[in-house]
């Protein structure tokens, strides 16, 4: 394999790894021979997934981690560094929303919960990998944003739209700061992917949502994972601060 497309043997940390896009990223990285750390707050699902991968000879470890909690993130990443060494790749994938109140009905608690899960978590996890990436003058950080950060979609929660747009601002700002250190920071903005959460959330409006996509279908989680994989390779060395839209043509720049 061409070295520039190989992440074989690299240590990759994936948050929200037990389901949906995170799960697909783990499967893609496993195919590429990476060493993978799965982080998820769902202990049962995460541990079962890791066990399944291990039984197929894949080098994985699962850590139960709540990426919105500073202490949980710090303890987890310190343990990864101590036991497995420095991560070359971080995929900030944990996120989402579960309800979509109109603006006047957005409670402060909902605002904070969604911002913490989708934006603060990206800051908390990124700051734990950057010091060792700086030392080795190499790193790849990919943040999972959303199409809702690119255009105003009423189908998604208002604080979610704000948080995912914040992820793009964070990505660009951090990319500039870390560019001299050989660390790239990029984002992907997926359109509709029918993870269990999203299939349930949008079940009534799904036919209309899909009809608005030029390809007339939802994206596969593995199609998002392919984009994330590319941005995680050594070969994506001159790409930083970008947002890769993966949405079947629904939003084009």
Ligand X SMILES: NC(=O)c1ccc[n+]([C@@H]2O[C@H](COP(=O)([O-])OP(=O)(O)OC[C@H]3O[C@@H](n4cnc5c(N)ncnc54)[C@H](O)[C@@H]3O)[C@@H](O)[C@H]2O)c1
Q: Which residues bind ligand X (CB under 6 A)?
A: 15-16, 18-22, 40-42, 65-68, 93-96, 117, 144, 146, 190, 192-193, 195-198, 221
- As measured in angstroms, the least distance from the Cβ of 192 to ligand X is 5
Three-class secondary structure of residue 60 per DSSP? strand
Q: Which tokens sit at 125?
A: 């996890």
- As measured in angstroms, the least distance from the Cβ of 30 to ligand X is 17
Q: Which CB sits closer to ligand X, 183 or 193?
A: 193
CA distances 26 to 75, 171, 239, Å, are 22, 22, 22
Q: Which CB sits closer to ligand X, 138 or 157?
A: 157
- As measured in angstroms, the least distance from the Cβ of 214 to ligand X is 17
Q: Which CB sits closer to ligand X, 7 or 25?
A: 25
Q: Which CB sits closer to ligand X, 172 or 197?
A: 197
CA distances 36 to 28, 32, 95, 124, Å, are 11, 11, 19, 19
- For 209-236, letters b (16+ CB in 10 Å) and e give bbeebeeeebbebebbbebbbbbbbeeb
- As measured in angstroms, the least distance from the Cβ of 148 to ligand X is 7
Residues with catalytic roles: 160
- As measured in angstroms, the least distance from the Cβ of 33 to ligand X is 23
Contact 126, 119 (CB under 8 A): no
Contact 242, 11 (CB under 8 A): no
Q: Which CB sits closer to ligand X, 19 or 233?
A: 19
Contact 16, 37 (CB under 8 A): no
Nearest Cα to Cα of residue 169 among 139, 198, 151, 149: 149
d(CA 239, CA 234): 10
Query: What is the arrangement of strands in the sheet containing 60-64, beginning at the earlier edge strand?
Result: 60-64, 35-40, 11-15, 89-92, 139-144, 183-190, 243-246
């Amino acid at each position: 394999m061409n070295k520039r497309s190989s992440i074989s043997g690299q240590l990759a940390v994936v948050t929200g790894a037990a389901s949906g896009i995170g799960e697909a990223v783990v499967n893609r990285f496993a195919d590429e021979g990476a060493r993978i750390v799965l982080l998820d707050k769902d202990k049962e699902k995460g541990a079962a997934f890791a066990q399944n991968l291990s039984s197929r000879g894949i080098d994985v470890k699962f850590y139960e981690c709540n990426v919105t909690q500073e202490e949980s993130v710090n303890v987890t990443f310190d343990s990864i560094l101590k036991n497995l060494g420095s991560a070359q790749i971080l995929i900030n994938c944990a996120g989402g929303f579960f309800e979509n109140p109109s603006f006047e009905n957005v409670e402060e608690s909902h605002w904070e919960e969604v911002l913490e899960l989708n934006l603060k978590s990206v800051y908390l996890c990124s700051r734990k990998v950057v010091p060792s990436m700086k030392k080795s003058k190499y790193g790849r950080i990919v943040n999972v944003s959303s199409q809702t950060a690119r255009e105003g979609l009423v189908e998604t929660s208002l604080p979610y739209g704000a948080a995912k747009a914040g992820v793009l601002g964070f990505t660009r700002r951090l990319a500039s700061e870390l560019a001299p250190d050989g660390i790239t920071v990029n984002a992907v903005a997926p359109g509709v992917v029918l993870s269990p959460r999203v299939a349930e959330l949008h079940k009534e409006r799904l036919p209309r949502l899909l009809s608005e996509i030029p390809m007339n279908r939802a994206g596969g989680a593995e199609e998002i994972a392919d984009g994330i994989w590319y941005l995680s390779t050594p070969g994506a060395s001159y790409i930083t601060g970008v947002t890769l839209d993966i949405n079947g043509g629904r939003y084009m720049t």
